[in-house]
């Protein structure tokens, strides 16, 4: 028998931790109420537009509902322990509006609020800072029946709800996100109809919905500050990130132009308090009806910016006009995870860097990033090598953005565990933990171990 010999190395091995994140950087995961909680009829919860949508014939791409989902409503303690095992120091979750106000307005339901008190207490006990999102798509059905985001009254109802939650949870929660992913709510909910409430309105009506949703953000921000002056408030937007095709200053400049333009009706108006002229011209008679007072509310300064970054929106380069940009089409062979999810790790560098160039936010959080991995297909449900490589490349780019001065304060991975993926139901799996939906057993995947290494070393490994 021969004894294995240690291979002599001429060059030293890499040093883990050589690519550090800033001191105090926060590591966590993100979820949304409807995607994990289940218990849809418990403790006085009202119905939301998603309860309706999942039961609408032909609405879902893959049949399924979230009546049980991950049963997190009952298993939250176990789930907080999973987060602690990941080395997480923070957690972003959403509050279900119809648990707090079953009909959207009126009398609050204290049993609904108690659930979030218990959850937050468990997080704090585990040393995990709670970041609460007030709206992750579950509009109370009663409000939709009265016109939903088409009406100004829903904006006011959202402000009242946000202020009430901040007042009630302000002793335990410091950080609030108003609204998650504006364009999904507006363009998919009311434009293409692909998501709840599944309407296909004309362009002018969609623009008015858009205006109401950005106005709801500012209204909620002011209400939260009034109810809880110590609160820190921002939003969580799936910002369209343009990636310059080279580092040449003229291409980067073009990418800055593209950032403002590609987000004109959303982040740009919320950061600048006015709709860009190019947007108003483009929309013409269909442009949203608005007032200067509303723009002042929409543009209220935030304490931080939350951005969900999964992919580049476009690859761009300089145009002849120095205020413009040119986009290149994605190649048909561009690698992807889920069909919409073109893999583009450099978006995690250019997102924060361009946001910093254009708007200099006080701080930025990556409020979502992750990928679908169907590691179960070959009988190894826990070997999600694609998610590990995804994380390693995206986090490498994020570290580079921090090193180049982008003020990124934390990263929330989507998601802690597999969950209800909207119209795809349970067909996609985004978790660091695998969920067996028959038994509700959670099991760590390879990526959970990788995440733990990164979080505990505060460095790319
Ligand atoms: C979002 C999210 C999540 C999704 C995730 C994966 O804010 O977009 O919708 O709810 O599950 O993005 O698609």
Given the residues 37, 181, 294, 397, select the one marked as catalytic.
181
Q: Is the pTM of this model over 0.75?
A: yes
Nearest ligand 1 atom to the CA of 308 is: 7
Task: Give me the CATH code for the 19-460 domain, please.
Answer: 3.20.20.80
Within 6 Å (CB) of ligand 1, which residues are found? 32, 35, 180-181, 238, 308, 368, 414, 421, 430
CA of 31 to the centre of ligand 1 (A): 8
Residue pair 197/191 in contact by the 8 Å Cβ criterion: no
Residue 8's contacts (CB-CB under 8 Å, 6 or more residues apart) are: none
Interval 74-90 mean pLDDT: 98
| Tokens matching residue 120 | 């937050």
**Residue-averaged pLDDT of the chain:** 96
Q: What is the per-residue pLDDT across 295-346, written as a single tens digit (0 to 9) for each?
A: 999 999 999 999 999 999 999 999 999 999 999 989 999 999 888 899 999 9
Confidence tier at 2 by pLDDT (50, 70, 90): low
Which of 3-12, 54-63, 192-201, 424-433 is the least confident region? 3-12
Put the strands of the sheet holding 326-328 in their side by side order. 242-244, 314-317, 326-328
181 is known as an active-site residue: yes
**Which residue carries 């322990």 as its tokens?**
81
Ligand 1 center to residue 420 CA distance, Å? 10
Average confidence (pLDDT) over 156-181? 98
- What's the 119 CA to ligand 1 centre distance in angstroms? 21
Mean pLDDT to the nearest integer, 134-146: 98
Question: Per-residue confidence at 376, pLDDT binned at 50, 70, 90?
Answer: low
Closest ligand 1 atom, residue 184 Cα: 8
Confidence of residue 65 (pLDDT cuts 50, 70, 90): very high
CA of 193 to the centre of ligand 1 (A): 17
Active-site residue, selected from the candidate residues 237, 283, 368, 421 = 368
Distance CA 197, CA 185 (A): 9
pLDDT of residue 377: 58
Tell me the mean pLDDT in the region 209-223. Answer: 98
- Residue 337 CA to ligand 1 center (angstroms) comes to 14
- Cα–Cα distance measured from residue 97 to residue 92, given in angstroms and rounded to the nearest whole number: 16
Segment 417-452, tens digit of pLDDT = 999 999 999 999 999 999 999 999 999 999 999 999
CA gap 97, 22 in Å, rounded: 35
What would the pLDDT profile of 91-115 be if each residue is shown by its tens digit?
999 999 999 999 999 999 999 999 9
**Residue whose CB lies within 8 A of the most ligand 1 atoms, among 196, 308, 371, for a mutation test:** 308
Q: Are the C-beta atoms of 139 and 202 separated by less than 8 Å?
A: no
pLDDT at 1: 60
Distance CA 359, CA 421 (A): 32
Is residue 14 over pLDDT 90?
no
Question: Is 421 known to be catalytic?
Answer: no
Give me the phi and psi of 242, to 5 degrees please: -85, 140
How do the domains of the chain map onto residue ranges? 19-460
| Nearest atom of ligand 1 to the alpha carbon of 236 | 7
Pocket test for ligand 1, best of 34, 342, 421, 431 (most atoms within 8 A of CB): 421
Residue nearest to atom 10 of ligand 1 (CA): 32
Q: How many CA atoms lie within 13 A of 117 on its CB side?
A: 11
Q: Of the ranges 329-333, 359-363, 377-381, which one carries the lowest mean pLDDT score?
A: 377-381
Residue pLDDT, tens place only, 224-257: 999 999 999 999 999 999 999 999 999 999 999 9
Per DSSP bridges, beta strands 314-317 and 326-328 are: antiparallel
């Amino acid at each position: 028998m021969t004894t294995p010999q240690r291979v002599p190395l001429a060059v030293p091995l890499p040093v883990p931790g050589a690519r550090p994140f800033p001191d105090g950087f926060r590591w966590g995961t993100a979820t949304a109420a409807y995607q994990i909680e289940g218990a849809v009829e418990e403790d006085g919860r009202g119905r939301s537009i998603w309860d309706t949508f999942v039961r609408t014939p032909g609405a879902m791409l893959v049949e399924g509902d979230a009546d049980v989902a991950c049963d997190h409503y009952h298993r939250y303690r176990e789930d907080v322990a999973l987060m602690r095992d990941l080395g997480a120091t923070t957690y972003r979750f959403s509050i279900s509006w119809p648990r707090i106000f079953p009909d959207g307005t009126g009398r609050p339901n204290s049993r609904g609020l108690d659930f979030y008190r218990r959850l937050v207490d468990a997080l704090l006990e585990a040393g995990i800072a709670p970041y609460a999102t007030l709206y992750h798509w579950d509009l109370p059905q009663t409000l939709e029946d009265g016109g939903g985001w088409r009406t100004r009254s829903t904006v006011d109802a959202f402000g009242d709800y946000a202020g009430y939650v901040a007042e009630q949870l302000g002793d335990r929660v410091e950080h609030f996100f108003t609204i998650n992913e504006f364009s999904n709510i507006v363009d998919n909910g009311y434009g293409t109809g692909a998501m709840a409430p599944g309407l296909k309105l004309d362009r002018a009506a969609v623009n008015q919905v858009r205006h109401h949703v950005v106005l709801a953000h500012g209204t909620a921000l002011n209400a939260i500050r009034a109810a809880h002056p110590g609160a820190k408030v921002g939003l969580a937007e799936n910002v369209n990130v343009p990636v310059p095709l080279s580092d040449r200053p003229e291409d980067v400049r073009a990418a800055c132009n593209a950032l403002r333009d590609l987000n004109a009706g959303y982040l740009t108006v919320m950061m600048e308090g006015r709709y860009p002229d190019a947007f108003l011209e483009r929309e013409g008679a269909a442009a949203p009806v608005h007032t200067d007072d509303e723009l002042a509310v929409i543009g209220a300064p935030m304490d931080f910016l939350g951005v969900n970054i999964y992919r580049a929106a476009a690859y761009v380069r300089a145009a002849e006009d120095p205020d413009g940009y040119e986009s290149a089409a994605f190649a048909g062979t561009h690698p992807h995870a889920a069909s919409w999810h073109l893999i583009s790790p450099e978006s995690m560098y250019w997102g924060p860097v361009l946001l910093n160039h254009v708007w200099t936010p006080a701080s930025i959080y990556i409020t979502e990033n992750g990928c679908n991995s169907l590691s179960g297909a070959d009988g190894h449900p826990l070997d999600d090598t694609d998610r590990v490589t995804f994380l390693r490349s995206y986090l490498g780019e994020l570290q580079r953005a921090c090193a180049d001065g982008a003020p990124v304060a934390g990263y929330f991975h989507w998601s802690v565990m597999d969950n209800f993926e909207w119209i795809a139901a349970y067909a996609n799996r985004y978790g660091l933990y695998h969920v067996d939906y028959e038994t509700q057993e959670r099991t760590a995947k390879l990526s959970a171990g990788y995440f733990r290494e990164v979080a505990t070393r505060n460095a790319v490994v």
